[in-house]
Amino acid sequence: MSVIRTVEELSKDPEFAGYYDIEEKHRQQLESAKETGIGEGEHNKAISTAKKLLQMGLGTPEEIVEATGLSLEEVNLLKEEN
């Protein structure tokens, strides 16, 4: 119980509360950056897979869209590059 009281007392201290807010904001920024990085990595992998499928002549653009999750526009642009 003494720990809870200590935390309650510290939470009333504006300086301590400010540190918590900074830490929480930093944690949220890191989580957001992580999610962004994962999303970009997944998208890059889908592009790589689509390029390989197109080079190998496997599947229609619509099938590649279904397999990779890319848009039809993206697949058609990749097709034009080849």
Q: Where are the alpha helices (DSSP H) in 57-69?
A: 61-68
pTM metric for this prediction: 0.69
- The pLDDT, as a whole number, for residue 1 is 59
What pLDDT does 19 receive?
A: 72
Residues 6+ apart with CB under 8 A from 75: 50, 54, 61, 64, 65, 68
Residues of the chain with pLDDT under 50: none
Helix, strand, coil fractions of the chain, as percent rounded to 5 = 90, 0, 10
Domain ranges in the chain?
2-81
